Chains A and B, each alone.
Chain A
Amino acid sequence: MAEEAIIRFDQVTKQYDDDTIVLNNVSFEIERGKFYTLLGPSGCGKTTILRLIAGFTEASKGDIYFNGKRMNNVPANERQVNTVFQDYALFPHLNVYENVAFGLRIKKMKKAEIDRRVNEALRFVNLSGYESREITEMSGGQRQRVAIARAIVNEPEVILLDEPLSALDLKLRTEMQYELRDLQKRLGITFIFVTHDQEEALAMSDEIFVINEGRIQQSGTPTDIYDEPINRFVADFIGESNIVPGKMIRDFEVEFAGKRFECVDQGLNQNEPVEVVIRPEDLEITTWSEGKIQVKVASQLFRGVHYEMLCYDESKNEWLVHSTKKATVGDEIGLNFGPEAIHVMRLGETEEEFDKRLEAYQGAGYGK
C-alpha cells in the first residue's frame, strides 16, 4: 500500500500564528491516477490541504510524503505538482502561449521542445489557434482551459484544482465537469479537486474526502458517501436528508417517529439512541392508511423533475419528500419506504469505528 500512495499525510496539523487550527491531525493517502475531491464548506481546511501539497504553506506538525519521501521542506517550485487556481492566476502581462510556456521556460527547455509541448497542451484543452491571444481577450471558460493547459504542460504527477469551476456560470460549469473528468481519464494522472459543491464532487470523483472543521469526516467513493453517511454533518452536506432521532431496538430493527421498522443495520447495542437518515427520493407517497408513517403536507414546490414537499408527522419530525406525484397542501398522506432506505448513524462514531463495525459483520450477510 505504502509504495502505491503518491501522496501521504501523516498526522498533519496546520495552525496559524494566532492559534487558529485549520487542520487537525489529518492523515490520508492519495493513490496514483485517480480523481480525488476534497469536499467541505468554506473554511473547513480543504484549501489548506491543497496549499500544503503544493508547498505554499508549511505544516505545523506531521509529515507529508511524496512517493514515500518526506517533502515538508521542499519549496513549491521544486515539487512535482501543478495547480489550477480558483482565480486562474494567469499572468496578465503574458499572452496565452507565454502563460502556458512559463514553467517550461523556467526549466530552460529548448525552444522546439517548448513549442511542441505548448501546442500539444493547447490542443488537449481545445485552444489551438489561440496562442497569441491576450488573457484579457479570453472568456471565463477559455481562461479556465489556459490555466489547465499551463498546469498539464509540465507533465506533473499530480494536478491540484482549487475550486476552478466556481467562477463559471451553471451551464459552463456542467460542461467543464465532463471535460475535466474526461481530461483526467486521458492523462491518467492524479487530480485533486477542491470544491464546496457536493453535486460536482459526486459527479466527478473516484474518491471523495468530506472535510469539516479541520478534520476528514469521511472518505470513500461517491456512492459510499451518499448511501452511508457516517454522521449528521455528512448526511446533511451531501444531498438532502431527513434526519430524525431514533433508537436501535436490536439488530435489524430500529424505532423512530413512534414506530418500529425493519432495517439492514447491525452491530449496535440494544436500545442505543441513534440518528436515522432517509433520503427524500427514497420516500414514496401513498394513502394515509397504506403509509408506514403518516404526515401532513405543509408546503409544496415544483422543482421541474419532481415535486418537493415539506411534511410533518405527529412527533413534529420534518420530512422532505421528492416525488413525481403531486400532493395537496394540507392533505394528510402516508409515506412508504423499504428497509434499505433506512440508514442508521451511531452518535459520535468516527470513520475508523464505522469501518471496523462494517468489517465485523461483513461476513454476516450485510451488503446491498
Chain B
Amino acid sequence: MKKKSLWPKVYLAFVFIVLYAPIFYLTFYSFNSGGTMNDFEGFTLDWYKELFQDTRLLIIVLNTIIIALLSAAISTIIGVLGALAIVYMKKRAAKNALLSLNNVLIVSPDVIIGASFLILFTIIGIKLGFTSVLLSHVAFSIPIVVIMVLPKLQEMSLSLIDAARDLGASHWDVLSKVILPYISPGIFAGFFLALTYSLDDFAVTFFVTGNGFTTLSVEIYSLARRGISLNINALSTLLFLFTILLVIGYYFITKRNGRTAGAGGGNE
C-alpha cells in the first residue's frame, strides 16, 4: 500500500497546477511593464495606478458591489420566507411542487434565464438598466438562499418550537428568538452565496442590461473582446485577492456559527 501513495499526489499536484496556473499567470503579468502577456520586461505598478485613476471603471465596480449587496439582501429575505413557507406546508404535493419550481432557475442555463428575463422586462416595460439587473439578480439568487436555508430548518426538531410555545413565546417570539437564530448559519451561507452569484454573473446581466449600465463582468467581456490589456490583469489580481478574503471570512464565520448552532438539537 505504501508504494502506491506517490501516484495520487502527482496526479493531484498536476490538477492543482492546471487549475491555478492561469490565475497566477494573470497576476504575474499584471506587474509587467512590457504591456503584453508574453514577455516580462520589468516590474511596474503602472497598471494598478491606471486602474485607480479610471473613474469609469471604479463606478462600474461600485455598481457591481451595490447590485450584489442589494440583491443578496433582498433575496435572502424572500428566500428565508420561502423556506419557512415550504417547511411548514402541510400538503405534500404542494410542497413538492414548490420545491421543483424553486429549482427551475438553479438548473436553467444562464442564456435561457437571460433571454426570458429580457422578454419579461420588455413586456412589462421595465427599462433595461439598474432596475432590470437588480431584479434579475434577486430572482436567480432566491432559490439558492432557499436551498441553503431548508436543510437547517428541516434538521430543527419540531419540539424546539413546541418548547418555545410552552414557555410562553408568541408566534413572533418563536420566529425571532428560536427559528431565526437556529437557522442563522444557513441564512448566512445563503446570503454569501447570493453575493458571489451576483458578483460572478455575466450571462444574465449581459442580456438584461441596457446601454447606460454595466457590471464588472460585462465590462471585462467587452474589454477582452478588444484584446489584451494589462489593466484587466491588475483588476483580476485585485478580484482574486478579494475572493480569497471573502472565502476566508466566510470560513471563519461559518466555523464560529457551526460551534454553537451546527451541533444539532438536544438529542445525542
**Is any CB of A less than 8 Å from a CB of B in the complex?**
yes
List residues of A whose CB falls within 8 A of some B CB.
54-56, 75-79, 81-83, 85-94, 102-103, 106-107, 134-136, 140, 143, 147, 150, 154, 167
Interface size in chain B (residues, C-beta < 8 A): 26
With an 8 A cutoff between CB atoms, is B154 at the interface?
Answer: no
Beyond known contacts A83-B163, A85-B159, A90-B266: 12 more, CB 8 A cutoff: A75-B165, A76-B165, A77-B173, A79-B166, A88-B266, A88-B267, A89-B265, A91-B160, A92-B266, A94-B181, A106-B167, A134-B260
Given contacts A86-B159, A87-B157, A102 and B182 within 8 Å (CB-CB): no
**Those of B159-186 within 8 Å (CB) of chain A:** 159-160, 162-170, 173, 177-178, 181-182, 184
CA distance A277 to B159 in the complex (A): 41
Q: How far is the CB of B201 from chain A (nearest CB, A)?
A: 33
Choice from B163, B170, B260 contacting A89 with Cβ under 8 Å: B163
Q: Verify A92–B261 contact, CB threshold 8 A.
A: yes
Choice from B169, B182, B184, B265 contacting A106 with Cβ under 8 Å: B169
Q: Verify A89–B165 contact, CB threshold 8 A.
A: no
Q: How far is the CB of A307 from chain B (nearest CB, A)?
A: 37
Q: How far is the CB of B268 from chain A (nearest CB, A)?
A: 6
Given contacts A81-B166, A103-B167, A167 and B268 within 8 Å (CB-CB): yes
* Residues of chain B with a CB closer than 8 A to A79's CB: 166
* Total residue contacts A-B, CB cutoff 8 A: 92
Q: Verify A87–B182 contact, CB threshold 8 A.
A: no
Q: Verify A92–B263 contact, CB threshold 8 A.
A: yes
Q: How far is the CB of A92 from chain B (nearest CB, A)?
A: 6
- Chain B residue with Cβ nearest A107: B168
List residues of B whose CB falls within 8 A of some A CB.
157, 159-160, 162-170, 173, 177-178, 181-182, 184, 260-261, 263-268
* Residues of chain B with a CB closer than 8 A to A136's CB: 260, 263
Most buried by A among B166, B170, B173, B267: B166
Return 24 A-B CB contacts under 8 Å, by A number: A54-B166, A56-B166, A77-B170, A79-B166, A83-B163, A85-B159, A85-B266, A88-B267, A89-B157, A89-B163, A90-B265, A91-B164, A91-B182, A92-B182, A93-B181, A93-B260, A94-B181, A102-B164, A103-B168, A106-B169, A106-B170, A107-B168, A143-B266, A154-B168
Q: Verify A167–B165 contact, CB threshold 8 A.
A: no
Given contacts A77-B166, A92-B263, A106-B168, A140 and B268 within 8 Å (CB-CB): yes
* Residues of chain B with a CB closer than 8 A to A154's CB: 167-168
Q: How far is the CB of B68 from chain A (nearest CB, A)?
A: 28
* Residues of chain A with a CB closer than 8 A to B160's CB: 89, 91
Q: Verify B164–A87 contact, CB threshold 8 A.
A: no
Q: Verify A93–B167 contact, CB threshold 8 A.
A: no
Q: Verify A82–B167 contact, CB threshold 8 A.
A: yes
Q: Verify B162–A56 contact, CB threshold 8 A.
A: yes
* Residues of chain A with a CB closer than 8 A to B159's CB: 85-87, 89
Q: How far is the CB of B243 from chain A (nearest CB, A)?
A: 30
CA distance A160 to B163 in the complex (A): 11
CA distance A76 to B264 in the complex (A): 24
- Chain A residue with Cβ nearest B163: A89
Q: Verify B263–A76 contact, CB threshold 8 A.
A: no
Q: Verify B166–A83 contact, CB threshold 8 A.
A: yes
The 6 closest A-B pairs by CB, nearest first: A103-B167, A88-B266, A89-B163, A89-B159, A76-B165, A87-B267
Most buried by A among B159, B178, B266, B267: B266
- Chain B residue with Cβ nearest A106: B168
Q: Verify B266–A87 contact, CB threshold 8 A.
A: yes
* Residues of chain A with a CB closer than 8 A to B178's CB: 91
* Residues of chain A with a CB closer than 8 A to B265's CB: 87, 89-90, 92
- Chain B residue with Cβ nearest A56: B162
Q: How far is the CB of A296 from chain B (nearest CB, A)?
A: 48
CA distance A86 to B263 in the complex (A): 18
- Chain B residue with Cβ nearest A78: B168
CA distance A150 to B261 in the complex (A): 19
Q: How far is the CB of B154 from chain A (nearest CB, A)?
A: 15
Q: How far is the CB of A168 from chain B (nearest CB, A)?
A: 10
- Chain B residue with Cβ nearest A98: B177
* Residues of chain B with a CB closer than 8 A to A107's CB: 168
CA distance A134 to B262 in the complex (A): 12
CA distance A92 to B163 in the complex (A): 12
- Chain A residue with Cβ nearest B263: A136
Given contacts A89-B157, A167-B268, A82 and B166 within 8 Å (CB-CB): yes
- Chain A residue with Cβ nearest B181: A93
CA distance A54 to B140 in the complex (A): 42
Q: How far is the CB of B58 from chain A (nearest CB, A)?
A: 41
CA distance A183 to B211 in the complex (A): 75
Most buried by A among B167, B169, B170: B167
Q: How far is the CB of A38 from chain B (nearest CB, A)?
A: 17
